[in-house]
Amino acid sequence: MTRLIADYVVVGAGSAGCAIAYRLVEAGHSVLVVEHGGTDAGPLIQMPGALSFPMNMARYDWGYFSEPEPYLGGRVLATPRGKVLGGSSSINGMVYVRGHARDFDHWAEAGAMGWAFRDVLPYFKRMESWHDGGHGGDPAWRGTDGPLHITRGRRDNPLYDAFVQAGRQAGYQLTGDYNGEKQEGFGPMEQTVWKGRRWSAANAYLKPARATQRCEVVRGLVERVAFAEGRATGVCLAGGQLVEARAEVILAAGAINSPKLLMQSGIGPADHLRETGITVLRDRPGVGGNLQDHLELYVQMAASQPVTLFRYWSLLGKAWVGARWLFTRTGPGATNNFESAAFIRSAAGVEYPDIQFHFLPLAVRYDGQAAAEGHGFQAHVGPMRSASRGTVRLRSADPAAAPRIRFNYMSDPQDWADFRKTIRLTREIFEQDAFAPFRRHEILPGEGVRTDAGLDDAIREHVESAYHPCGTCRMGAADDPGAVVDPQTRVIGVDGLRLADSSIFPRITNGNLNGPSIMVGEKAADHVLGRQLPPEEATPWIHPDWATAQR
């Protein structure tokens, strides 16, 4: 059997793993990236408008599901995770959100010293190649020559502007760049799309890293981390192959598979490992805990004019969209079609936004099933900072077995009040004059659903994951018994092993997680290399009347 050895072994070719590999190779090191999934070539991944396909394909997705969720009537929710080069950045919705500055300040306050906004801003800027498309923004807050291209859609459809103007009419702020100084407000949404193509972590980072000849991708299922005298020396693959690291092993397998892999390696809650038949190497009770996600409801409206994307929903229409993209990289296939967004506060006394809107000029489920009403539009909406927490646990000692994922969605009573509030605020926006030329009636939850009990039933039946799992290997102080990695991304209690992906988030960030996951990879690479970018002071816009006004 061929011996594979490099300076560093990175497990997972996803958002963080690709960034880590790129920066280590850039510094002159050799890297082996271990990935179970295959190639990201082909139009279903590379065409932004086809985003609902790859996350529903076993070829690209691990195919995970939650356990029956007790507070959602026992529903089992899909938990797609990328099993392909680029990881979940190759099957996600391509929405780019950094998160609010206060999110990262909270990380530092929770024990992740050196991860406040002033510390992470330079890494966001280093990774970005930002193109504002003439829509305004905050250039001083953004990066212009990084590997990750960030663009904005053309916003040609009149519904995109109607959404923003409706927000203004309802009394909310406007923002030209929610990734800049001012997150709060209504404005254009950003996407990881470049020249009409999905700009995944594989396209941005892995391909240039491999071109140096110092980075090689190894296909295989990692069964466990190999240790010698308490130090990680490599990883064992199914079939018995050992991939060895001269310096360090870095796990970047994501919020579900990173804790799974730690537990398979004997690092995790001791009682659970013993019950599963795994020898305990280190008792770390925080492994697999602190699981968080964003839930969202699609508030759907029937349209009175045929201006929505439903015009392309026939076989002929889809063929036209695909052909236009294939030959010109333009049209509806060249965008994720999430081109307007908003971040608002749910109540007076909330310092910074805790509700996010994705606006889409089509009434459709994420799995691609269009609403029976035909022409329509929708806002994906949900609270950003639920107090509910779940767990990832092993189903058995078999590395090929799917883990047991229990989010405990809506287990905190406040979640129900918060979610009812988001629905009512969304309805108010859709009732503004800007939507009068386009609005017919509400499809979901339905115009007759008005009482708290009725809304709770709609939430229980229709709410969906936004596919933002995180927090399962929480970063914190080295002496924090619930922490899994220290602020240098080293796994606490062993040597030679780091972990860097969305699983280390102490608390979920505002918005989609791909951007902050890549940032974690960028910053972790500098910790590995023993360097850091100088902190930058930047004060985010906070509503001057936040303590007494909701908008």
Active site residues: 468
φ/ψ (deg, to 5) at 150: -130, 125
Task: Please provide the DSSP assignment of 129-165 as one string.
Answer: EE--TTS---GGGS-BSSSEEEEE----SHHHHHHHH
The answer to whether the CB of 403 falls within 8 A of the CB of 66 is no
Adjacent-strand bridge partners of 383: 355
Q: What is the DSSP letter of 434?
A: G
d(CA 272, CA 270): 5
Tokens of 109: 């306050």
The answer to whether the CB of 509 falls within 8 A of the CB of 103 is yes
Dihedral-angle region of residue 379 (phi above 0 means left; psi in -120 to 50 means alpha; beta otherwise): beta
Nearest to 120 by CA among 509, 464, 427, 431: 509
Helices (H) and strands (E) in the chain — how many of each? 13, 25
d(CA 434, CA 132): 25
The answer to whether the CB of 147 falls within 8 A of the CB of 208 is yes
Tokens of 342: 């908003």
Amino acid at 498: R
Tokens of 348: 């007076």
Tokens of 91: 């099957």
The answer to whether the CB of 425 falls within 8 A of the CB of 551 is no
